[in-house]
Structure 1
Amino acid sequence: MKRTWQFRQSSEIAADSTAVWARVVTPEGINDEMRPWMTMSVPGGAEDVTIDSLEIGRPIGRAWLRLFGVVPYDFDHLSIAELDPGRRFHEESTMISMRRWTHERTVEPIAGDRTRVSDVITFGPRIGLVVAGPLLQRVLAAFFRHRHRRLAAHFR
């Protein structure tokens, strides 16, 4: 039985890559992408943190995922495994629902003041959710398409 799934999402954003990066590494930018479906809290003591300022390989604590920004339903033991500031981050985490969650985001300048944002998500649900893997893949892929639309709308 398959235990790991992956999908990719890539979009062109009408903004300079420096501005896009500055947005996607902040809690405010991340939560704006996720709204209205969910938000993610910042662990206590990490309120002023951005992905750029995290220590590589050191988990920052529990980042609670909240349905509609209100109802906690899961948490992410957030850890940045690799970072190329201004260009790429690679998150490796676990959750209540996921034994493995990997999110790699790349921000690349393209012609003019345009930027390509690409996400590669690899996830492995906990044993009780493995049978739902194909459905989770479709739902999560739709959620990341939503995130990309929200990010693009921010720069319009």
Structure 2
Amino acid sequence: MTLSLRFECTLRADADLTWHWITDVRCLRDEMRPLLWMSIPRGITNLEDLLVIPGQPLFTSWLWLLGVIPLGT
């Protein structure tokens, strides 16, 4: 049995601006605060700047619970 889900919403925002916000690593960090903090390699500011190869990790990252307790890679 195959289950398929689809979620949609309409945003009153410019598509390019929305995409830039979604892929900006600072915005990703802001979304997780204050519960989680994520490390990001130096020089990476936007996920669009990375070469995406399906099945390959983009980079290694650490997560910290409440910004102080390391959770792992």
TM range (shorter): 0.5 to 0.7
Return structure 1 stretches of 4+ with deviation > 6 angstroms: none
CA distance in 1, matches of 2:70, 2:44: 21
User: Which residue of the partner structure matches residue 37 of structure 1?
Assistant: 35
Q: CA deviation at 1:8?
A: 7.0
Does structure 1 retain, via aligned residues, the 8 Å contact 2:37–2:67? yes
User: Which residue of the partner structure matches residue 26 of structure 1?
Assistant: 24
Comparing both structures, which one devotes a greater share of its residues to strand?
Answer: 1
Task: State the identity as a percent.
Answer: 30
Count residues in correspondence.
Answer: 67
After TM superposition, the score normalised by the length of structure 1 is 0.36
User: Which residue of the partner structure matches residue 49 of structure 2?
Assistant: 53
Structure 1 unaligned residues grouped into runs of 5+ = 1-6, 76-156
CA distance in 1, matches of 2:15, 2:21: 10
SS in 1 for 2:62: strand
Structure 2 unaligned residues grouped into runs of 5+ = none
Superposition pairs for residues 86-105 of structure 1, below 5 Å? Answer: none
More RCO (CA 8 Å, sep 6+): 1
- 1:50-101 per-position Cα deviation (integer Å, ceiling 9, x unaligned): 21111122534321111122322022xxxxxxxxxxxxxxxxxxxxxxxxxx
